[in-house]
Structure 1
Amino acid sequence: MLLSYWMLLLLQCFSVRLVFAEPSCQKFQSEPRRIFFNCGGFTTASELATKIIRPEHSKHAFMLSESRLEHLPVDTFADLAATNVTLNKVHIDNFDAVHPNAFERLNGTLVELVFLRGSTLPKSWSLLKEVVSLISLRFERQSGQISGEYHDQDCSLEIHQAEYVSIDYVKTTLRASASGSAKYTAVVN
């Protein structure tokens, strides 16, 4: 999992300037079983919905970079099986916790959600409460405060903390999963 995450970041670093002159999504395959989607440069939700290559039922990583959207459409991840979703410099004007939402389409496959380089955070973490497969939230090069409504979560999450982010009240408000074992992990990068 960690190797695929770093491979995705490496691909993103080498392609970001070339790929995002106009909105696009590219699919990379580094090994027979390692698939990565790298999408970016979007300014509307409707553009994003039409550019994602579908269907992809093999497990893969998905990165959305350098985009500004009015909202994240409910069908964003339809017909995908992403295990890792990274939002890298993505601004979402309306990131409300509506149901159904885009992340619910990944229930059963999504294991890690990453907010990178100032990406917009959801207004409420209840946005993720139906994604029971999610076990890790990662915040890298984010500024701001991660407090909010973790008590709405009904699953165990590892919370990874990077520089410039303060996590308040997470340890005391994170509710245990059905197995009774809440996890809290803070990793400072």
Structure 2
Amino acid sequence: MSSEASDSSTDATAQQSKSTTADPTLTVVATGPATFTRQVSGDDEATILAEHDTVELSIERQLRSADDFETVIDPMFDGNGPTVCKLRVIEDLIYDHAMDGYERAGDKDDWSLEITGTTADWKQMSLDLVPDLHRRSTDEGAAVKRLWSLAADGVTNDGAVLAALDLVDQHDIDTRREKLTDLLTNGGDSA
């Protein structure tokens, strides 16, 4: 009987551990003007298209792995400049969501792009991505740099900055904390 109790206790502990180490999930949201054009008829004599007025389109996509996360990071990022190619991400989101007929209207600056997630999800995702990125002194240091760059570009919520601060504290990373805390006080959503 005591072995049964011990087994159920072990199972409960394993289940709890499994639920706390779930895959991280970030959400990419792009919002901006779009037009919708659809073919009403298409025969040999004429093709009739119906174009609707410009609408506000909001597209959301979940990032559940480092590979997914890499789809929003600018592949040409070398540590300088924007970390996200905003226009490419917006166009990919429209295409990936089978938005047949929708096309981006206006300039890329008419669109907003935000990547949101909890502090824990940002922390895990940035650490999962690190091995494939250019190296810093440590993996954690590289993750902090990546999180700071994303937050400085204005595409993240406060969860990314809080994750960077957590990594700094947890791994005693030598960095200027104020460059991170300034991002919290100068804008962004709370995580």
**Quick check: TM above 0.5?**
no
Flag the structure with higher strand content.
Answer: 1
TM-score, normalised with respect to structure 2? 0.30
CA radius of gyration, larger in: 2
